[in-house]
Every structure is written in C-alpha cells, then in structure tokens.
Structure 1
Amino acid sequence: MTEVPTRTSLRPRRTATTSSNAEGTGGSRTRFSLSRAATSMFKPEKKVGKAPGVLASIRSIIMASWLNLLLVFIPISWAFNFAAKDQHTLVFVFSFLAIIPLAKLLAFATDELSMRVGQTLAGLLNATLGNAYPTHIQIIALTQCQLSVVQSSLIGSILSNLLLVLGMCFFAGGVKFSEQGFGASATQLNSSLLTISVIAVLLPTAFRFSVTAQSDPDSMNDILKASHGVALILLFIYGSYLFFQLYSHATLYGDQSGDVIKSTKYTPRPKKAKHGEPADANGNLAITDAENAQEEEEEEVPQLSLYMTLGLLAVVTVIVAVTAEWLVDSIDGLTSTGKISKEFVGIILLPIVGNAAEHVTAVSVSVKDKLTLSLGVAVGSSIQIALFVIPFIVTLAWIMGKPLTLMFDPFESVALFLAVITVNYVVQDGKSNWLEGMILMCLYIILATTFFFYPGQTSPFTC
C-alpha cells in the first residue's frame, strides 16, 4: 500500500489562491478567501509598538485626561441618590458630571483597542457596550408598561447617533482635515439597512391611518401580529449583516478597504527654505518622499496592555450603567413639574445621557483621522438599535405579554425618515468636511426644538 505524501495534499489549497479557474479547486479557494476576509478586519492600520506593563498602564489611565478629576463626582452622585432621593436636581447634576470622565475613559480604551483589532471591530464592540445601558433602561420601562417611553427612547437613540454624534465627528475632524475619507460602499450599505428599519416603522403607522375601525374592527390586533412577524425578520437581517461584516465581506469594512479616500489636511502656508534645505521651484521648503514615507510608516505606541484595555472597558461600562440609572431616575422627578415633557426626555435627554460614552469616543477618534471607527460607533450603533434592539424589545414584550408594536408615534417616525434620508445624501460621496457636520448638528437642534413643544400622542395600546 503506497502512502500518499503530505505535500500532495497541500498542493490544491496552495494553487487555489493563485489560479483563477482551476478545475476541482473552487471550493478550497472560496474557503481560503473567506478566511482571509474574516481575519483582515483584525489587522490594524499601522504598526503597533510594544505594550507597556501593568504599572505603566495604570499610570496612563490616571494621566489620560484632566477630566479624571471629575471622577470624584461618582461617589457624590451615588451618595445623593441614596441619602437625598428627593433632591432630583442635585442627583441629575452630579450624575451628569460623573459620566463625563467615564465617557472619556471609555473613548481612551476604545482607541487603544482599535490599534490591535482594527477600527471596524473596535467600533462594533463600542457600539454594543454603549447600547447595553439604553437596552437595560428600556427593559425596565417595559416591565413598568411605559410603552411610549420605550418607543420614544429607541427613536431618540437613532436620531442622536445619526445626527448629533455623526455631525460632531464630521465637524471635529473637519477642523483638522480639509476632507476625510471613509468606505463609501460599506456606508451606502449601512444606509440601506437603516432605510429598511425606517420602512418597518412607517408601515404599521400607515396601516393604522389607512384602515378604519369600521372596515377592520380587529385592526389593532392585526398590527400587533404584524409587528411580531416583522421583528423576527429584522433580527434575521441583523444576523445576516453581522455575518456579512465580520466574515464574508470583512475586507469591505476593514481599515485597508480599497474605496477609502485618503484624508487631506489643510494646505499650510509655504515656508521659505533655508540654506541647505530642499526647496521647490518657488524657493519654498519642500517635503521629500522619504519624510512622507516615514510619516506613513510611523508606528502607534499603545499606552495600555491588551488585558488592561479590556478590563478598563468592562469596569467603565458597569459604572456608567449604574450612574446613568441614577440620572434617569432623577429625570423622572424633573418632569413632574410639567416644564419638560416625557416626549422630550425620551427623544432628546435620555439618548444624550445614555450614549454619552459613544459620543465622546466617536468625536475623539475622528480628530485622529480614524473616521472608520467613528462611523462604526455612530452609524453602527444606529443599525444595531434599528435592526436588533427594537425587534428584540418587541419580541421580549411579546413573550412578556406586553402590547408593544412597531407602530411608533407618527411625528417621531417622520423625523426618523427625514434623518436617514439626510444622512444618506451626506455620506454618499465617501468624504466629509466640517460643513456637512454642521448641517447634521443643526438638523438635530431643529428636531430638538420641535420636540420640546411637541405634546405627543397617546398610544392606542395599553397593558
């Protein structure tokens, strides 16, 4: 019996990567291509230096920002929450001040993580951690049968990420860079996913206004059943999106994607070349190719080790969730005066507070020309809310016997539709500047002003 050499068994896999239409090797080639695509997203954009030790990492966390001085407000806010529960204003102020340094630390840890795993995966992780707290609050509100608060906070989170966070990223990056580039193909696909979620929200509302109680006496029950079915379809779409992003087309979302336009800085004023320095035809100081190559190959030196980075992410996420819960409880006391409506709290205040960590992360890394990470946090978080959190909450309400549907407030649904359309127009060219960021922020301010005077509508569904 002749033994088959090991080298022969490896030959088809090796030729599958070089030959285009080799017979009998198509399956191997496909598996190898998918494997390369799946691992490419873990490749950082620049070379990463040696990680520091434990003591150096702790020192870096302490000295990360002067905002760490505000960490003293964490125990103060907790003390006021337990000792003086009737002082809602003090609890709100101290809790808000405590969340600011925590958000900065979360941005610092996310930036460190992006050096090792790439901007796409870091953005997905940050969006997931950031949405964990709002989802927790929405589940609590669902158990208390506050259906309108749940729905308005979900819409508000998407509006906050798409308009305020993304606008601040474009504006902050546009101050330093004349134009910043990002993956246009992946961004357009994300816009399509958001459009699907908007359709899922608008259709039940259109159904309600198209069918009268006389033509269909059981129309409300039909909307509830349709919402359950659509929620399961949206969950399937989100699972397919994760497979597409993390495995089959990971290179499309990677830092080295071929359609990413290189960012350009503002043209500096020319400096006159001194004696012995390279000069151009006009006698101005010229930058040599060697200097450009050295700038491109400059490696990033991490300030935290990998385990310290993951530990910081976990600890900060837990503290933010607890502190923000005290803040939300104090907001309920503020709305009892009648000066601020629950609709404004759910649409504007609650998402800003709940997503504060994501806001700081996205804006901080956009200044460092990591716009892929910023989009992963802002747009990725919106997709996660639209395609996962909303259908998950609807499905959970179905299990709990709560009549939560995809029929949102009509005015809130129209505002979401206009926001998605505006963002789609802004990102379609694959480039950003400060003016586009200002447009998105101004649209958010317009919506916030309108929602401040909007009284809201009473939901036809009650527990």
Structure 2
Amino acid sequence: MPSTSTSERTSLLPNGDRRNFSESDNTFLHRTSRLFKAEGEPSHQDSLKFFVFGSWLNILLVFVPLSIIAHNLDWDAALRFSFSFLSIVPLASLLGTATDQMSSKLGQTLAGLLNASFGNAVEIIVGIAALLQDQLVIVQNSLLGSILSNILLVLGCSFLAAGIKFQESNFQVTAAQASSSLMTLACITLIIPAAYNSVKPPVESLLANPLSADSSVIDPERWNGLLVISRGTAILLLGVYVAYLYFQLKSHSYLFQAEGDQEAEEPQMNIVAASISLFVVTVITAFCADFLVASIEEFADRYKIPKPFIGLILLPIVGNAAEHVTSIWMALKGQMELTIGICVGSSIQIAAFVVPLLVVIGWISHHELTLFFANFETITFFASVFLVNTLIQDGKSNYMEGLMLITLYLVIALAFWVS
C-alpha cells in the first residue's frame, strides 16, 4: 500500500486547507475555545485581567487571606472583625462587577434589577451565616440597616451629588411612586407584628434569644402567634415580589425606562468568565461572612460597641459599598431612573424578598426568626420610608433633598450608637 504524503494528509482538512499539523491543531483549539466564548466577546485572559485589576478596591483583597489566618489562629476579636469586614468590601464590589458584566447585553431596567439583586447577595450570605449561628438580632438589624442605608445614605448621597452638578434632576414619577408604595407595604408588614405584640405583655427579651429565655417570661401562645404572622406574611411578600418583577420587567416596563438614548458600554468580560467569577466570589464571601459574624459577639463585648450599631450601621456599609459607588456615578451622569432603581429597588428586594426568604429559611432550619422588631427599630423604619415617599413623589430631586436624607441617617446612627 503506497504511503501517504503530508500534503495528501492535510488535503483532508476542511476546505482543502494544506497547513501543517501544528497549525491545524491550533485551529482546532481555537474553534474549541469558541464553544465557551461567543464571537466578539473578550477573551478569558482579558476578562480575568479586568476582573482582578479593574478596581482600586481590589487592593483590599489582601484582607481575605488575613481574615482566614486570623480566624484559624484565634487572633484578637478586633483583628478578626476588622479583617473580615474589610475583606467583604472588595468581594461585594466584585459581585457587582460580575453581575454587571453578565447583564451588559440586557436592557437598562433588567441590568439595574440584576445589579440590585446580586448587590444584595452579601446581605443574604451574612444573614444566613448569622441565622445558622442563632444571631437573630444581627440578622434583623443587618437587614433593616441595609434598607435604611439604601434609601437614606445611598439615595441621599446620589441626590446630593446630582444636585451639585445639576440644579434639578428629573425621573419617572409613576415608577418611583410604584416602588415607594411597595416599600410602604413592606414597612407596614413589619409594623403589624409589633402592633400584635403591643396588646400582649412585653417580650423585648425574646429578641435576644427566644429559645433560651426564662420560661416564666415566654408566653408560648404569644410567641407562636408572632411566628404564624411572620411566616404567613413572608410567603405573601414573596408572592407580591414576584408580581412586582412581572410589573417592572413585563407589563409596565415602559415606566422604568429612562428618557432618551443611553450609551451602551462594551462588556469587559465574557459570559463564562463572569459566571465563574460570580460563583467563586460568592463562595469566598460566604466564608468571610461566617468569620465576620463569629467575631461580632466578642468584638462588641470587649470594646463596648453596641451590637445594634454594628448590625444597622457597620454591616450594611460592607454590603452597599458597590451600590453606593454605582448609584452616585449614575446620578452624576443624569441617569436618575437607574439611581432610583438601584437604591429603592434594592431596598424593596431586601424588604420583600431577602427578609421573607430568611424567615422561610429559618422556618426550615428550625431557627425561629420573626418579623417582630423592637418599637424603636419599627418607628425608625416607618419615619425613613415616610421621608423618602415625601421627597420622591414629585419626580424631581435636588441637593437639599439629598442633605435631608443623609441627616436623618446620621441621626439614626447616633441614636443606635448610644442604645
């Protein structure tokens, strides 16, 4: 049988390509890589480079290994808390970056919604970590603090920044009122358990640890009533949240669209790289959140820092760092619809999705988390939602309104510092 020459063998390649085998192998590898990367998307190397070096906040990633070391070697509580706290800041930013890159080909409304959703991934992770460690007060305070941080601090800073650049900023009033109305509903659902408790003997001690409280103090019927109200309300809120998603993305999506054409930014990561990055960062964040929650008790006791202040003020700063920067940046570009979507939309997702979700998770895992907040927290939440509704009902914003929101947030922070 005659031997086959190299040229004859290469003629079997597609389109009669007569390149040598090394070239055809490279072509095969190139075509294989295209299975994992769409045409025109950045390469995996470029995606990784952008993800790691795309923000100066990533310098703080050095605290991730420090947090692990401090926890395993049982260093001082201040170091364990500080390292874990600082490590979550860049991780929250990276979660936002990966989400933003994944949603870069979607419309502005869905992009804003996804950014707000995965921006709350930190709150969910921290909440679950605290819930599984029976830190029910930390769960409630961190979630309430995230809502207050978004609608007061982040929205206030955005209004202030936009007001410095523009005399007045406009946004879709109907969409803003729809969002604020849902926020009001969530606020009312948190007031009802407190109202139910007001006709019963005081149960403030139950908030600390209902399972270990003195049996002479606990009224089983009263506590069971709070559990039934909380779990039933959680299921209803989750249903309302699903309806709100349909309202925002499908039936009335036009209300949430910004006026005028917006410049679309070129994606810096491909879908596969963004998805893998999102998964990896989520896992790392879960470990750091667990270390953070584990150090709070000792840190608060040793250094005389009120736990409500840690839960309502310090922890939300970690979770909202990325949203804070994005919201202000969008406000400076005049995209107030996106700013409202990030701030108010994120608060809605915490109140109507994250809080009910954690109540259900606690129900399944036998951790009796309720929607019952102490009177002070309830009044604070109601006052904050009332002020936000008052300021956005005209569809306009200025720097003075931003200053009002920031001032209320600082007053609340001061009150919880001395609580």
Instruction: Give TM-score, length-normalised by structure 2.
Output: 0.77
**Which of these residues, 346, 349, 360, is aligned with residue 381 of structure 1?**
346
Question: Any residues of structure 2 matched to 1:117-136 within 5 Å, and which?
Answer: 117-136=106-125
Taking structure 1 as reference, are residues 107 and 229 closer, same or farther at Cα in structure 2, changes over 3 Å only?
closer
Q: Could you tell me how far 1:405 is from its partner in structure 2?
A: 2.6
Contact 1:104 1:361 in 2 (8 A): no
Which amino acid counterpart does residue 373 of structure 2 have in structure 1? F
- State how far apart, in whole Å, the 2-side matches of 1:194 and 1:62 are: 36
Partner SS for 1:145: coil
- State how far apart, in whole Å, the 2-side matches of 1:116 and 1:71 are: 28
Quote the residue 2:58 is aligned against: 68
Quote the residue 1:265 is aligned against: none
Taking structure 1 as reference, are residues 302 and 367 closer, same or farther at Cα in structure 2, changes over 3 Å only?
farther
Taking structure 1 as reference, are residues 234 and 62 closer, same or farther at Cα in structure 2, changes over 3 Å only?
closer
The answer to whether the aligner puts 1:80 opposite 2:80 as a matched pair is no
The answer to whether the aligner puts 1:241 opposite 2:230 as a matched pair is no
Quote the residue 1:227 is aligned against: 230
Contact 2:96 2:119 in 1 (8 A): no
Alignment gaps of 5+ in structure 2: 1-39, 203-218
Identity %: 47
Contact 2:58 2:90 in 1 (8 A): yes
Quote the residue 2:209 is aligned against: none
- State how far apart, in whole Å, the 2-side matches of 1:432 and 1:441 are: 14
Contact 2:160 2:400 in 1 (8 A): yes
Higher helix proportion, which one?
Answer: 2
String of CA shifts for 1:122-164, please: whole Å, max 9, x gaps. 2222222232332233233333433333222221121111111
Contact 1:106 1:361 in 2 (8 A): no
Which amino acid counterpart does residue 252 of structure 1 have in structure 2? L
The answer to whether the aligner puts 1:423 opposite 2:413 as a matched pair is no
Q: Could you tell me how far 1:61 is from its partner in structure 2?
A: 3.7
Taking structure 1 as reference, are residues 175 and 218 closer, same or farther at Cα in structure 2, changes over 3 Å only?
same
Which amino acid counterpart does residue 162 of structure 2 have in structure 1? G
Alignment gaps of 5+ in structure 1: 1-49, 263-295, 455-463
Q: Could you tell me how far 1:227 is from its partner in structure 2?
A: 2.6
The answer to whether the aligner puts 1:141 opposite 2:101 as a matched pair is no
Q: Could you tell me how far 1:110 is from its partner in structure 2?
A: 5.0
Taking structure 1 as reference, are residues 169 and 211 closer, same or farther at Cα in structure 2, changes over 3 Å only?
same
**Which of these residues, 377, 385, 401, is aligned with residue 412 of structure 1?**
377
- State how far apart, in whole Å, the 2-side matches of 1:390 and 1:419 are: 18
Q: Could you tell me how far 1:119 is from its partner in structure 2?
A: 2.7
Contact 1:183 1:430 in 2 (8 A): yes
Contact 2:306 2:416 in 1 (8 A): no
**Which of these residues, 179, 194, 199, is aligned with residue 210 of structure 1?**
199
Taking structure 1 as reference, are residues 374 and 328 closer, same or farther at Cα in structure 2, changes over 3 Å only?
farther
Taking structure 1 as reference, are residues 396 and 322 closer, same or farther at Cα in structure 2, changes over 3 Å only?
closer
Contact 2:158 2:327 in 1 (8 A): yes
Taking structure 1 as reference, are residues 135 and 87 closer, same or farther at Cα in structure 2, changes over 3 Å only?
same
Quote the residue 1:460 is aligned against: none
Taking structure 1 as reference, are residues 97 and 407 closer, same or farther at Cα in structure 2, changes over 3 Å only?
closer
Question: Any residues of structure 2 matched to 1:294-443 within 5 Å, and which?
Answer: 300-337=265-302, 339-443=304-408
Which amino acid counterpart does residue 249 of structure 1 have in structure 2? H
Q: Could you tell me how far 1:429 is from its partner in structure 2?
A: 1.9
Count of aligned pairs between the two proteins: 365
Which amino acid counterpart does residue 161 of structure 1 have in structure 2? N
Taking structure 1 as reference, are residues 103 and 231 closer, same or farther at Cα in structure 2, changes over 3 Å only?
closer
- State how far apart, in whole Å, the 1-side matches of 2:324 and 2:221 are: 43
Q: Could you tell me how far 1:347 is from its partner in structure 2?
A: 1.6
Quote the residue 2:182 is aligned against: 193
Instruction: Give TM-score, length-normalised by structure 1.
Output: 0.70
Q: Could you tell me how far 1:224 is from its partner in structure 2?
A: 2.9
Which amino acid counterpart does residue 186 of structure 1 have in structure 2? A
Q: Could you tell me how far 1:195 is from its partner in structure 2?
A: 0.8
- State how far apart, in whole Å, the 2-side matches of 1:252 and 1:137 are: 33
The more displaced of 103-112 and 431-440 is 103-112
